[in-house]
Chains A and B, each alone.
Chain A
């Protein structure tokens, strides 16, 4: 969480998404596929992310938050709508035109077990894109990767190890090092802590906080746990059924939610205070 004051004066939006739509066709037919219906995974969402801030995108599974991320990053081709990065339209750009932009926008994935290639060594996983983007090679590459490992709380000796030798939390650190290797401006964190133990979640959240301060990163933090989202975000957008139902300052949204769905989401988060949760449970059962 960066200070609100810091984001306020930064001014211009780094990312501006307007009316973004991603529909998946449902096809049917024997010889010729006919489109019979659509899944409206992302159904016209708009938001902007200012430089240096963290925008939390919260919603349940199936709300479209991951699809939204992928459509913004052009990993999925949006059905319609506009995505502007530093004022430049990127929706509809071709692969080659997108390549330089990949350096600016990176992603951290949910499952630290599935998102690391088990046959590659840590050094390769983190360093490959430096090679591909021709940023560094040889000895310099190794020094940079070791520096990154150190920065995310691993040790440079981990360079030659394989992912299976690491715990979930450490793997997520590897994923973070990979995302930061090219010194991106914008990082999408897609449920980066939900597969981890609560105690390890706190470590990763704190690490993301520190890296944001050090490197001036901008985050879009996607999660279903509104408690974690509130902690790390400056602003929150709540998604439900492909639409953003509420946006606002993180504390504002959590303390004075306006939308019925946001209220429902907040009411379901367990409270680590037995007396309070007993009172709330009584309320919930009374309400049916």
Chain B
């Protein structure tokens, strides 16, 4: 709330003046069937100009984590613990109206489905203008409109001057997602949260949107949190990666750590289940068997244990998120296997994957 250290420290994770700091975040929901711990201890730091990917299956807690950052999970039946600091300011302590100011001006969020996240009865332009004027009351109508056109142009919408008066249904899926991004950027936030921004789009459009996110990220120093279940998308844009499973972070590291030296069997499974055009096709995709656990009945010990072919006695104890590689303190995982065992066991048919269950 007072002095805001703007300068980005050279080493991420060193503590101190990160743009966004999340510590011990836990989100629980009271349901009819009992308490669901959707997020169970997530920590990360985000620097300006950085893209952090949060990866996991449905129900892993990745979206709840993102929504909690901007207070979207606040409700009488939710229980939020831990700390979310934006430039040192504690967001979890803010009132709803104070939080309203943070949303949009400092943190913006875009969603998976560009078809349903816009109001069909207003023009795209009026929705962008509304966003601008809601926060900047000094902006006149004309001025706001000019800004809207400029924004639509900056996200690559052709003929923005005319398009600003079009309705959402006149836009294609990719254009709608561009317009959503434009809306998100209207107030020049420093953090963009993108929740599965390309899942509903064709691959060619997906590539364009990912290029756009990366370009904004580079040119404006926009810090981005990308939520996705697709490691292919992660490889295209992310700098660092959190892999989530059953509400917990099971592995975190740089992009290269996760793709070239993954430590957690769940990460191997995610990598293995991708169809790769750059590799000869395997006879069978090394799949992760079973389904993600119900958060109501999480297994004791490691949550991935029931689906893991490498499970052994020790796995009944919950492994901590620790650096297990001697030379890499920032690459952490929750798996009891030794690095040596991991290196051996992650090879399936000449690529990284999860073995068939025995």
**Proximity string of chain B (269-298) to chain A, C-beta cutoff 8 Å, 1 when within and 0 when not:** 111111111100101111111011000000
**In the complex, are the beta carbons of A268 and B204 less than 8 A apart?**
yes
Q: From residue 249 to 288 of chain A, which have CB atoms closer than 8 A to chain B?
A: 251, 254, 264-274, 276-277, 281, 284-285
**In the complex, are the beta carbons of B274 and A277 less than 8 A apart?**
no
Residues of A within 8 Å of B284, CB to CB, are 206, 209
Tell me whether A245 is interfacial, beta carbon within 8 Å. Answer: no
**In the complex, are the beta carbons of A230 and B207 less than 8 A apart?**
no
* Residues in B lying within 8 Å of A, measured CB to CB: 57-58, 173, 202-204, 206-207, 210-211, 214, 229-236, 255-256, 259, 269-278, 281, 283-289, 291-292
**In the complex, are the beta carbons of A167 and B58 less than 8 A apart?**
yes
Tell me whether A19 is interfacial, beta carbon within 8 Å. Answer: no
Partner of B236, one of A199, A226, A281: A281
Q: Tell me the nearest residue of chain A to B55, going by C-beta.
A: A198
Tell me whether A156 is interfacial, beta carbon within 8 Å. Answer: no
CA distance A251 to B259 in the complex (A): 25
Q: From residue 24 to 43 of chain A, which have CB atoms closer than 8 A to chain B?
A: none
Partner of B269, one of A199, A265, A284: A199
A270-B232 in contact given A206-B287, A226-B277, A281-B211 (Cβ < 8 Å): yes
**In the complex, are the beta carbons of A270 and B285 less than 8 A apart?**
no
* Residues in A lying within 8 Å of B, measured CB to CB: 1, 60-61, 167-170, 197-203, 205-206, 209, 224-228, 230-231, 251, 254, 264-274, 276-277, 281, 284-285
**In the complex, are the beta carbons of B229 and A227 less than 8 A apart?**
no
**In the complex, are the beta carbons of A167 and B232 less than 8 A apart?**
no
Q: Tell me the nearest residue of chain A to B352, going by C-beta.
A: A272
CA distance A168 to B286 in the complex (A): 20
**In the complex, are the beta carbons of B287 and A199 less than 8 A apart?**
yes
Partner of A224, one of B203, B233, B235, B270: B203
Residues of A within 8 Å of B285, CB to CB, are 202, 205-206, 231
CA distance A267 to B292 in the complex (A): 32
Given contacts A270-B236, A271-B235, A274-B259, 17 further A-B contacts (CB under 8 A): A1-B283, A60-B203, A197-B57, A198-B270, A198-B273, A199-B57, A202-B286, A225-B203, A226-B277, A270-B207, A271-B236, A271-B278, A272-B231, A272-B259, A273-B278, A277-B236, A284-B211
CB distance from B73 to the nearest CB of A (A): 21
Between A and B, 24 residue pairs with Cβ closer than 8 Å are A167-B291, A167-B292, A168-B58, A169-B291, A198-B230, A198-B270, A200-B57, A205-B285, A206-B287, A227-B276, A230-B281, A231-B275, A264-B204, A269-B232, A270-B206, A271-B276, A271-B277, A271-B278, A272-B235, A272-B271, A272-B276, A273-B259, A277-B235, A284-B207
CB distance from B206 to the nearest CB of A (A): 7
**In the complex, are the beta carbons of A202 and B273 less than 8 A apart?**
yes
Residues of A within 8 Å of B235, CB to CB, are 270-274, 277
CB distance from B278 to the nearest CB of A (A): 5
CB distance from A99 to the nearest CB of B (A): 36
**In the complex, are the beta carbons of B202 and A272 less than 8 A apart?**
no
CA distance A224 to B200 in the complex (A): 11
CB distance from A78 to the nearest CB of B (A): 25
Residues of B within 8 Å of A226, CB to CB, are 203, 277
CA distance A243 to B211 in the complex (A): 29
CA distance A61 to B202 in the complex (A): 7
**In the complex, are the beta carbons of A199 and B211 less than 8 A apart?**
no
CA distance A84 to B285 in the complex (A): 34
Residues of A within 8 Å of B231, CB to CB, are 198, 272
**In the complex, are the beta carbons of A60 and B281 less than 8 A apart?**
no
CB distance from B254 to the nearest CB of A (A): 9
CA distance A170 to B291 in the complex (A): 9
Q: Tell me the nearest residue of chain A to B290, going by C-beta.
A: A203
Residues of A within 8 Å of B283, CB to CB, are 1
CB distance from A6 to the nearest CB of B (A): 14
CA distance A270 to B276 in the complex (A): 9
Q: By CB atoms of chain B within 10 A, which of A167, A202, A227, A277 has the most?
A: A202
